[in-house]
Chains A and B, each alone.
Chain A
Amino acid sequence: MTQNWPLWEVFVRSRRGLSHTHAGSLHAPDAEMALRNARDLYTRRNEGVSIWVVPSAQITASSPDERDPFFAPAADKPYRHPTFYEIPEGVRHL
């Protein structure tokens, strides 16, 4: 039964020069079958030139809460953005 088949997350690179992006998930008994299934399931129309499969159980995720204090350190640092700085009018290429 599929109970023994772990869940895999599938990442597809749609063309060279782009990074792999998450396409979805699937069940497969091992990495090799996961790759083959991913090809049949997520690239039937040339959607990819490369596929990664990762056991879902191996993914460590942050908490889903958007107000998570985990991300708080970035919130009060607007000076990390170029728009924070005032530049005199007429100054170009900056």
Chain B
Amino acid sequence: MVAVTPETGQDRALAAAFEAAVAADERVEPRDWMPEEYRASLVRQMAQHAHSEIIGMQPEANWITRAPSLRRKAILMAKVQDEAGHGLYLYSAAETLGTSRDELLDKLHSGRQKYSSIFNYPTLTWADVGAIGWLVDGAAITNQVPLCRCSYGPYARAMVRICKEESFHQRQGYELLLALSKGTEAQHAMAQDAVDRWWWPSLMMFGPPDDESAHSAQSMAWRIKRHSNDELRQRFVDIAVPQSEALGLTLPDPDIRWNEERGHYDFGAIDWTEFWEVLKGNGPCNEQRITQRRRAHEEGAWVREAAAAHAEKQARAHAEAPAQADADAAADADADAHAQQHEEARV
């Protein structure tokens, strides 16, 4: 690892080269020199992002066994499986910065790294699955699309893959809500109730207002982020309002109205005390989510151990077999083996 502050002439040159590359919109790759603060900032953000993907599996998985049809069940399983995949893309991208998977999981389990506060809210009804897909995945997409151009190559590449998969998440949620909204009176009310509960927390997903956001300015200078929290939040509101109208559902904010002058929807003030409370660990499900995650990790330990033991046994068997083969192998047989290996590599 390289010095934090560029003290020598060589370090200064490296820092200047880094700044120039970022300013020219070039991508930073794992083995490039980078300021220690840039590395730490990326690890923090990518870890939090990865943790959010896997913790986010919980509130939705809660409804898999109670999905109202086989179609909805298959869709929900595919979505939750995607979120596991997103977590894995991001963990391996974070690992390119010199942190290990175990360290990341350990920090999640011990609360030293965070995940998105949105997942500390409960999923009370089936309609919540729809509201999450439409609003939570929708907000995530708004956040994530600009991250596809993040200055750190592995993060940007992971985001491209994730964004491709996210649009199905949002659409299935919207379709689900639409079906409920057009259904019986009780179904419509259930959909409305879910939207009422998820709307404000979704707006909070963009993080605190720009003037209170601790990391925003530096992240933007480093081109990790491309837009401010408030800018992205506004973008999301502008997209969501007409979508809610098409759903036949209302948003729980009497201040929402089109502002001709700004060319945007105005919306009401967000209750940030709630946000900070949930962030501090006082949300409805903080305890439950982390306990469940730890339990899953502990209960899966025997699988990881068995797989490692099997791999070791196989490797030992492999190491012994060629020794015997060598004894009676002629040079031409060796050549054959090489050719075959080559073939195998080409399948």
Interface residues of A (CB under 8 A from B): 1-5, 7, 24-27, 29-30, 33, 40-41, 44-45, 50, 52, 61, 63-65
Contact = CB atoms under 8 A, between A and B. Distances in A.
B315 interface: yes
Q: Which 7 A-B pairs have the closest CB atoms?
A: A29-B311, A30-B311, A64-B31, A29-B307, A4-B308, A25-B92, A29-B308
B310 A2 contact: no
A50 B346 CA distance: 9
B345 A29 contact: no
Interface stretch (B55-63, B80-88, B218-226, B322-330): B80-88
Interface stretch (B95-103, B132-140, B201-209): B95-103
A40 B102 CA distance: 21
Contact of A41 (B85, B304, B347): B85
A3 B88 CA distance: 16
Contacts, number: 56
B310 A3 contact: no
Contacts of B31: 61, 63-64
A40 B88 CA distance: 11
Query: On chain B, which size bracket covers the interface?
Result: 20 to 34
A57 to B, nearest CB: 13
B88 A5 contact: no
A56 to B, nearest CB: 10
Given A1-B301, A26-B92, A33-B311, 10 more contacts: A7-B92, A24-B93, A24-B161, A25-B92, A27-B92, A29-B311, A40-B85, A41-B89, A64-B29, A64-B30
Could you tell me the dominant secondary structure of chain A's interface residues? mixed
B101 A2 contact: yes
Given A2-B304, A4-B308, A26-B88, A44 B101 contact: no
Nearest to B305: A1
Contacts of B304: 1-2, 5, 29
Contacts of B32: 64-65
B69 interface: no
A24 B310 contact: no
B158 interface: yes
A1 B310 contact: no
17 contacts: A1-B304, A2-B102, A2-B304, A3-B100, A24-B161, A26-B88, A26-B92, A27-B101, A29-B307, A29-B311, A30-B311, A30-B315, A33-B307, A41-B88, A44-B78, A45-B165, A64-B29
